[in-house]
Structure 1
Amino acid sequence: MPAGRELTMRQIRQMLRLARDGVSAREIGRTLRIARSTVQDNLGRAAAAGLTWPLGPEITDAVLEERLFARAGVKQGARRRVEPDWPSLAREMRRPGVNLMVLWEEYRDAHPGGYGYSRFCDLFREFERRLTPVMRQHHAAGDKVFVDYSGKKVPVVDPSTGVVREAEIFVAVLGASSLTYAEATWSQALPDWIGAHVRLFRFLGGVPRLVVPDNLKSGIHKASFYDPELNRSYGMMAHHYGVGILPARPRKPRDKAKVEAGVRFAQTYILGRLRRLTFFSLAECNAAIATMVERINAHLMRRLGTSRRALFEAVERPALRPLPAGEYEFAEWRLARVNLDYHVEASGFLYSVPHGLIREQVDLRLTTRTVEVFHRGQRVAAHERRYGGSRHGTDPDHMPSAHRRYAEWTPERFRRWARAFGPETEGLVIAMLHHRPHPEQGFRTCLGVLRLFRGLDPARVEAVSARAVAVGALTYKSIASILANNLDRAPRPSGSAPVIDHPNLRGPRYFH
């Protein structure tokens, strides 16, 4: 029979009946699954008490127990040696490096006549079984934090419309100290899920070794005991804090018993005590929840004789890893393929990448302020995130050389080039740009004309420009003809339509 387990009166009655029938103590032990020595001890007690089978109707279970064990002065299984302070030992077990051997040696130093090691371990485990299911598991300090969403929600009223919106409740419980954290979020979506983790680590002032979530879709793409697939954004958050993610096994509630019990306790404290309050904003709701969380952590745990906050400060805080220098900024990761125009699409806007990556698959990292593009783990582009205006965000360095030259052309740039020759040339460029339905359509004409002027005396360039504006010659060929025929030196026509000498002009004989 395992140590510490008491025989029931039914087993003793069966023992007496089998002994009356001549069954040996060894066979009785096998039948009742107890030790032969236990059978012999109890048969000896029965013989000393004058009890034989069959027992009379006056021998009730209470009378039988009294007659068998009263002479020993104690009930069977009662402990006759100095008892350790089991709640204190349970708290000590949460300290790093502390095990039952260490605690037993300290116990025997204080009480040399105390229990042996095996009996000590049995009694300690028996004490743990009397605790709540949360405390049955052994959790080392700083090892795990269990996180989950409560199935219950808290209503929040929009003060302007009166519409009621229900917020989720995120709950986290540390393994060793049971320190509890809770907050309300609008949803269980990825930004809220990761944001709750960031605020949890800030609340703890450190980071445990592992986070044990349920298989929430925001955090776990594919639930599996052997190879759970993490959401990449969730994984990057864990990498930032240097914490491991160990999802609970699917359909294994014992893996998350700590947070399940913490959720029930938080619901009692938070939803139960705040049910008559009306909240008009999420911030107002979280302020009330924070007050309740402090009450939870200050509440005295009856069997351990201390509060969650005191146990955390004494045992778990020193074992947490330090926080990184900066808090994690939520980023969403997506897969994309580079289009033929060397742009990728994110939330309806287009962002350029180096043109050599056309048709390649890339990773996008989206924050509220930036869009980063990664190819094979290397960042190849970064843009300010766009929420309005032009759909294209293009870095000139990403363009092919021909596209880059065209992208650099602007009306102001052409005017600046022309201004270097003089005001007449600048006026010519302005006229050529306005002569087209769209200024961009005149860029090539302006570029060709300015190249014609390259190397010429600025005075002549000014004269040619003035002549071209005067006669309305606003094309590349017309201005080339003025230069070729030295028309800039001829007197300007006045009062009549301009006549341009050109080999393709038809003479008067053509019309006869």
Structure 2
Amino acid sequence: MTAHVHMYNYFGGVATLLVPDNCKTAVIHTKDWYTPKLNATYHEMAEHYGTAIIPARVRKPKDKASVEGAVGNISTWITAALRNEQFFSLEELNTAIREKLEAFNHRTFQKKEGSRWSLFHHEEFPFLSPLPTTPYELADFKQATVQFNYHISLDGMLYSCPYEYIKRKVDVRVTERVLEIFYNHNRIASHKRLYGRKGQYSTTLEHMPPDHQKYLEWNGERFKQWAQRIGPNTHQVIIAILSSSRVEQQTYKSCMGLLKLAERHSESRLEAACEKALNYTASPSYKSIKNILATGIKEISKPETEKPTKNTFGVTRGANYYGGKYNDK
């Protein structure tokens, strides 16, 4: 495909027809010569340039006889001519090939007037279609399944698509710079391609379920302000949770869960539970606060004026109850 792009750029236009061999990079199978199935990338390239592809028939060398002859001439006048020269970079080699190619094209014919260059520019170039605004970018096509987190995984990276497509199989078009996701030939997502460390995410906000979108709107400062309205102890616990991870965003779920406990129990009880937890540790967790509210809720809500009854005896019942020989007088 890249060779075609360079060819069109060199010609300065696009041919109406392409007649390739039946290689796998062009034709997937040719059970019926009239309806050959083309490689997806090759077909897309032809669509980009607006040209038609008509593969040569199998074992029919006359379909491309002139091309085969040109290949032999190129081998003689360029490849063989440079065989004894030494090059130290690909750029040097390409420059030398370009010089030989220009000399070959301007070389006059033996049996007719003109050269390949003059023949092309006077008889063939006027029939070429103009080049598109941008050259074709080589693409690779793959399939993937949308995971439960509304992302697909490709080459160790994760890219989002609308959550409605969870568990669906999608087609993925990958270029050097862009990744596009299609479902039933309709594009549903597009991302800049990720490189580097594996496990990176490219997530579009609109692809997320509504509840996940609201979650992303939160940040550490908002959690602190919400906790401060409940009480100083809750505020201190939120600060501790936010500091418990090297990546603050990983603690947002715990912060949200902790503050939501006020809706289930009450703000006063949550504040009391946080105070009790801070008496034991400077870094309480959401789980510890939740356990205090579930198991010690009566102790937390007990009025401060209520005092336990003091028992002056070592046992609750006297010796007479157990059949002792001493009687109270």
Contact 1:468 1:479 in 2 (8 A): no
Taking a change above 3 Å as real, the CA distance of residues 293 and 476 of structure 1, as seen in their structure-2 partners, is: same
1:447 to 2:248 alignment: no
The letter for the 2-side match of 1:281 is: S
Q: Distance in 1 between matches of 2:81 and 2:232?
A: 80
Which residue is 1:211 aligned to? 18
Shift of 1:444: 5.2
Shift of 1:326: 1.4
Taking a change above 3 Å as real, the CA distance of residues 278 and 426 of structure 1, as seen in their structure-2 partners, is: farther
Q: Distance in 2 between matches of 1:282 and 1:197?
A: 19
For 1:237, what is the secondary structure of its paired residue?
helix
Work out the percentage of aligned pairs sharing the same amino acid: 37
| Residues 105-116 of structure 1: pairs in structure 2 closer than 5 A | none
1:197 to 2:4 alignment: yes
For 2:85, what is the secondary structure of its paired residue?
coil
Which residue is 2:181 aligned to? 373
- Tell me the C-alpha RMSD between the 2 structures: 3.9
Contact 1:428 1:465 in 2 (8 A): no
Which residue is 1:264 aligned to? 72
The letter for the 2-side match of 1:431 is: A
Contact 2:22 2:55 in 1 (8 A): yes
For 2:119, what is the secondary structure of its paired residue?
helix
1:245 to 2:53 alignment: yes
| Residues 268-283 of structure 1: pairs in structure 2 closer than 5 A | 268-283=76-91
For 1:267, what is the secondary structure of its paired residue?
helix
| Residues 58-457 of structure 1: pairs in structure 2 closer than 5 A | 194-224=1-31, 225-389=33-197, 390-402=199-211, 404=213, 414-415=223-224, 417-418=226-227, 425-433=234-242, 443=252, 446-451=255-260
Shift of 1:421: 7.2
Which residue is 1:18 aligned to? none
Q: Distance in 1 between matches of 2:61 and 2:35?
A: 19
Q: Distance in 2 between matches of 1:367 and 1:295?
A: 36
Contact 2:273 2:292 in 1 (8 A): no
The letter for the 2-side match of 1:298 is: H
Contact 1:299 1:308 in 2 (8 A): yes
Per-residue CA distance 1:181-219 (angstroms, 9 max, x = gap): xxxxxxxxxxxxx11111111111111101111122212
The letter for the 2-side match of 1:219 is: A
What runs of 5+ residues in structure 1 fail to find an aligned partner? 1-193, 491-500, 502-506
The letter for the 2-side match of 1:323 is: L
For 2:187, what is the secondary structure of its paired residue?
strand
Q: Distance in 2 between matches of 1:441 and 1:477?
A: 21
TM-score by length of 2: 0.74
Shift of 1:320: 1.0
Q: Distance in 2 between matches of 1:342 and 1:383?
A: 14
Per-residue CA distance 1:205-263 (angstroms, 9 max, x = gap): 11110111112221221235222211111111111111111111111111111211111
Q: Distance in 2 between matches of 1:206 and 1:447?
A: 60
Contact 2:258 2:290 in 1 (8 A): yes
Contact 1:448 1:476 in 2 (8 A): no
TM-score by length of 1: 0.50
Taking a change above 3 Å as real, the CA distance of residues 371 and 419 of structure 1, as seen in their structure-2 partners, is: farther
What runs of 5+ residues in structure 2 fail to find an aligned partner? 317-329
Q: Is the radius of gyration larger for structure 1 or structure 2?
A: 1
Q: Distance in 2 between matches of 1:405 and 1:429?
A: 19
Taking a change above 3 Å as real, the CA distance of residues 470 and 386 of structure 1, as seen in their structure-2 partners, is: same
Contact 1:371 1:384 in 2 (8 A): yes
Shift of 1:484: 4.4
For 2:68, what is the secondary structure of its paired residue?
helix
Q: Distance in 2 between matches of 1:215 and 1:381?
A: 34
Shift of 1:272: 1.3
Contact 2:145 2:168 in 1 (8 A): yes
